Amino acid sequence: MRGVRHFLSKLGKWLVRAVLLVIILAGVGFAILCLAVDRFGRVDQTRPADAIVILGAQVLPSGEPGPNLLPRTEKAVRLYQEGWAPAIITTGGVAGDPFSAAEVAGRTAVAMGVPEEAILVAGGSNNTREDVRRAVSVMREHGWRSVLVVSHPLHLLRGVLLFRRAGVQAFSSPTSTDVRSIPLHWRAYYAAREAGLIILDVIYPEGEIGVWAYRLWYWLESTGLPGLIARLWRSIG
């Protein structure tokens, strides 16, 4: 019996060490992924492509593009006018809703001088994963295979990865947002959020579990809990 107890005690210690090692390695891996999210957003891979995609963002109650959607639209228009691609695909929001991100971005681009026939509205999405699916569907209808993805720098890695996973040659084209000007606690939060969603995309690429995980994530954001945590972090620091 004494030998058995000794063996179990030793086994327990090894199991604890193994679990701690896994936790440490997972933490290091997550930190590296967060760093990759932060750094990738500073890389501009602009090159000739079949289309430019604007990933959806907030629309103001007035129907005007929000502080993230406007610079995305401005960047897409500039790329179009410089001749990098012959069309712009807008995404985000309820299909057909005049106040959806896709519709608002499209109208804004036209007001900036882009011909209406060069704008393809791919509405009917509520998150980045759905934005990409809608955009890819439009691309396949036209036989397009390459795209310039326009979004906030900290959002680009995930967007590009989703397009590439769908078999599209995707290249990043970040907005002019200076990541270094974002307060460190918010910058860390957004990088961690994107890293977490990248992992979620890998673990649950399809199915109800992934959908509910997405809903839970965005519900937590809507409660303001992440903002509270960020403020507490800032006050402690």
Q: Does residue 220 surpass a pLDDT of 70?
A: no
How confident is the model at residue 236, as a pLDDT?
A: 46
Tell the residue number behind the tokens 């200076």, with chain if given.
178
For residue range 145-185, what is the model confidence (pLDDT) as tens digits?
A: 999 999 999 999 999 999 999 999 999 999 988 888 888 88
What's residue 168's pLDDT? 96
Residue 121 lies in a domain: yes
For residues 207 and 126, state if they share a domain. Answer: no
Q: What is the pLDDT of residue 175?
A: 93
Q: Is residue 74 domain-resident?
A: yes
Give residue 218's pLDDT: 61
Question: Is there a single domain that holds both residue 192 and residue 84?
Answer: no
> Residues 135, 194: one domain?
no
Write down which residue in 128, 144, 178 finishes a domain. 178
Residue 24 lies in a domain: no
CATH of the domain at 97: 3.40.50.620
Taking a C-beta distance cutoff of 8 angstroms, is the pair 121, 92 a contact?
no
Number of folded domains that form the chain = 2
* pLDDT tens-digit readout, 58-117: 899 888 999 999 999 999 999 999 999 999 999 988 766 778 899 999 999 999 999 999
* Residue 186: per-residue pLDDT: 84
Distance of alpha carbon 10 from alpha carbon 2, whole angstroms: 12
130 and 173 assigned to the same domain: yes
Same domain, 188 and 212: yes
Residues 185-223: b if buried by 16+ CB within 10 A, e if exposed: bbbebbbbbbbbbbebbeeeeeeeeeeebbeebeeeeee
Residue after which a domain boundary falls, among 178, 195, 219? 178
**Ordered DSSP codes for 65-100:** B-TTHHHHHHHHHHHHHTTS-S-EEEE-BSTT-TTS
Q: Which has the higher per-residue pLDDT, 21 or 171? A: 171
State which of 162, 178, 194 marks the end of a domain. 178
**Domain match, 227 and 200 both:** yes
| Domain of residue 71, residue span | 51-178
Residue 143 C-alpha from the chain's centroid:
25
The pLDDT value recorded for residue 158 is: 94
d(CA 49, CA 39): 23
